[in-house]
């Protein structure tokens, strides 16, 4: 089975994670997909397949004869998708793309536009899997799941391809920042790993944001508007005032590359009470710390204006830049680049403007950079995947397995 065929099957599972849930996985649909993956893995001959109590899926491919002393390499992807965009009743379409805009939905006149997504200009001649413009596709990260299992199937079917022991892991709840929290490193048993959770094929990512969050609570004073003069403190208005204290140009829509940001992920409010939720990001740890301190200073300023306790700012740190770990295991980057070049593509190394399971796993003791899967426009209704790039990602995984199979611990 080709990787894109698996993707078309997996996207029919509506696996959005839920940050308000206290269970693991956060939604039952993720476990349903995990169980289906276990059945598929067992059928193709993957060994020691299990889904644990937390919804994590594990399996292994034994080392080829003569490669038993090679480093154990893992490949990891996540099963969940974001909840902010509809993921039910996905209608994927395959487009033989020859350039120009793509009509996704004639009835609603929804187009995938080269103007809005200029990377389309580089994809003429490829076959794209798109949506009907009303849901996401789920390529983040069912592309990765499909590619890992397709590579596994091909390695098992071709014993002449020599490789060391390979571990496979599929995680829940990556999109809500919990994907690696209960990952069983001892069970996994890999020396090194890669997440398949990136964008275009050829991307090799070893730098992530440092990440923090803030929860801002505004306590207002509700008074009948007819007698509110000099008495009312409208919490919703104060929330807007608080946000205005943060640099307007330091939002995601105005930043790129190594530029950090403040991003509102949710807000609600009445006159009496309001709340704002932020994620805070920067590749530089000192700059991130400054951003968190800036949030606190903004809260202090609002309290100076309206009285102590008007704003309560709760902040916390979420994850660190994986480059701190990966730089000491640079062979992971060199070997991935070698595997990509063997397929006629020049690898591209960009800073990840986000995080991956690999970021957390790296700090847990499993160095784990991230690789591109041939997906684009993640987290939105214009998400799509390239079939040709998915095929190359499968070959890349096999190449990496061979490269490490030739080495010894």
pLDDT tens, position by position, 62-94? 999 999 999 999 999 999 999 999 999 999 999
353-408 residue pLDDT tens: 877 899 999 999 999 999 999 999 999 999 999 999 999 999 999 999 999 999 98
Average pLDDT taken over every residue of the chain: 96
22-77 residue pLDDT tens: 999 999 999 999 999 999 999 999 999 999 999 999 999 999 999 999 999 999 99
122-131 residue pLDDT tens: 999 999 999 9
CA dist 46 → 34, 43, 92, 371 (Å): 15, 8, 29, 22
| Residue 334: burial class (beta carbons within 10 Å; 0-12, 13-18, 19+) | exposed
Q: What is the pLDDT of residue 351?
A: 85
Q: What is the pLDDT of residue 33?
A: 98
Q: What is the pLDDT of residue 408?
A: 86
CA distance 103 to 108: 10
Report if pTM > 0.85: yes
Contact 251, 263 (CB under 8 A): yes
Active site residue 174: yes
285-295 residue pLDDT tens: 999 999 999 99
Mean pLDDT score, 156-180: 96
Q: What is the pLDDT of residue 102?
A: 97
CA angle (89, 95, 99) in 5-degree steps: 135
Contact 316, 384 (CB under 8 A): no
Residues of CATH 3.40.630.10 domain(s) within the chain? Answer: 3-207+321-405
Q: Beta partners for 204?
A: 371
**What percent of the chain shows pLDDT beyond 90?**
95
Of 80, 141, 153, 282, which one is the catalytic site residue?
Answer: 80
Q: What is the pLDDT of residue 355?
A: 77
pLDDT higher than 90, residue 319: no
Active site residue 140: no
Place 209 in a pLDDT band, splitting at 50, 70 and 90.
very high
Q: What is the pLDDT of residue 217?
A: 98
Q: What is the pLDDT of residue 42?
A: 98
Q: What is the pLDDT of residue 297?
A: 98
CATH 3.30.70.360 describes domain 210-319: yes
- DSSP secondary structure code for residue 221 in this structure: B
Q: What is the pLDDT of residue 76?
A: 98
Query: Higher confidence at residue 351 or residue 53?
Result: 53
If one counts every other C-beta atom within 10 angstroms of the C-beta of residue 253, the result is 7
Q: What is the pLDDT of residue 350?
A: 82
Residues of CATH 3.30.70.360 domain(s) within the chain? Answer: 210-319
pLDDT higher than 80, residue 268: yes
Mean pLDDT score, 226-231: 93
Q: What is the pLDDT of residue 173?
A: 96
Residue 356's Cβ-side half-sphere holds a number of Cα atoms within 13 Å equal to 34
**What percent of the chain shows pLDDT beyond 70?**
100
Q: What is the pLDDT of residue 271?
A: 97
Q: What is the pLDDT of residue 129?
A: 98
CA distance 151 to 294: 47
Q: What is the pLDDT of residue 177?
A: 87
- Contact residues for 170 (Cβ-Cβ < 8 A; gap 6+): 34, 37, 56, 57, 76, 77, 78, 79, 145
Contact 346, 99 (CB under 8 A): no
Q: What is the pLDDT of residue 150?
A: 98
Of 174, 175, 205, 207, which one is the catalytic site residue?
Answer: 174
Task: Say which CATH topology domain 3-207+321-405 has.
Answer: Aminopeptidase (3.40.630)
């Amino acid at each position: 089975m080709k990787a894109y065929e698996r993707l078309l099957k997996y996207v029919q599972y509506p696996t959005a994670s839920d940050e308000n849930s206290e269970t693991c996985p956060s939604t039952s649909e993720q476990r349903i997909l995990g169980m289906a993956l276990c059945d598929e893995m067992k059928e193709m001959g993957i060994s020691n397949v299990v889904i644990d109590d937390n919804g994590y899926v594990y399996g292994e491919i034994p080392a080829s004869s003569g490669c038993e002393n090679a480093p154990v390499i893992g490949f990891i992807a996540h099963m969940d998708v974001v909840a902010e965009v509809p993921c039910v009743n996905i209608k994927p379409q395959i487009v033989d793309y020859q350039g120009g805009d793509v009509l996704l939905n004639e009835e609603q006149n929804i187009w995938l536009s080269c103007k809005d997504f200029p990377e389309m200009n580089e994809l003429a001649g490829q076959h794209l899997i798109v949506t009907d413009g009303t849901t996401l596709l789920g390529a983040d990260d069912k592309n990765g799941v499909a590619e890992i299992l397709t590579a596994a199937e091909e390695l098992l079917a071709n014993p002449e391809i020599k490789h060391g022991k390979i571990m496979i892991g599929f995680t829940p709840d990556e999109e809500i920042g919990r994907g690696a929290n209960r990952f069983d490193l001892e069970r996994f048993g890999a020396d090194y790993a890669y997440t398949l959770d990136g964008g275009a094929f050829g991307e090799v990512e070893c730098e992530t944001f440092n990440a923090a969050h803030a929860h801002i609570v505004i306590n207002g004073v509700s008074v009948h508007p007819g007698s509110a003069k000099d008495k009312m403190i409208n919490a919703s208005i104060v929330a807007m005032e608080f946000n205005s204290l943060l640099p307007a140009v330091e939002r995601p829509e105005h930043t790129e590359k190594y530029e950090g940001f403040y991003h509102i992920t949710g807000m609600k409010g009445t006159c009496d009470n309001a709340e704002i939720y932020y994620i805070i990001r920067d590749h530089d740890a000192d700059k991130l710390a400054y951003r968190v301190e800036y949030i606190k200073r903004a809260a202090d300023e609002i309290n100076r204006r309206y009285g102590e306790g008007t704003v309560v700012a709760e902040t916390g740190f979420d994850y660190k830049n994986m480059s701190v770990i990966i730089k000491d295991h640079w062979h992971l980057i060199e070997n991935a680049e070698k595997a990509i070049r063997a397929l006629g593509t020049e690898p591209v190394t960009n800073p990840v403007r986000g995080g991956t399971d690999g970021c957390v796993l790296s700090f847990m003791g499993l160095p784990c950079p991230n690789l591109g899967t041939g997906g684009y426009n993640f987290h939105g209704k214009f998400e799509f995947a390239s079939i040709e790039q998915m095929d190359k990602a499968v070959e890349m995984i096999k190449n990496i397995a061979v490269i490490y199979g030739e080495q010894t611990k």
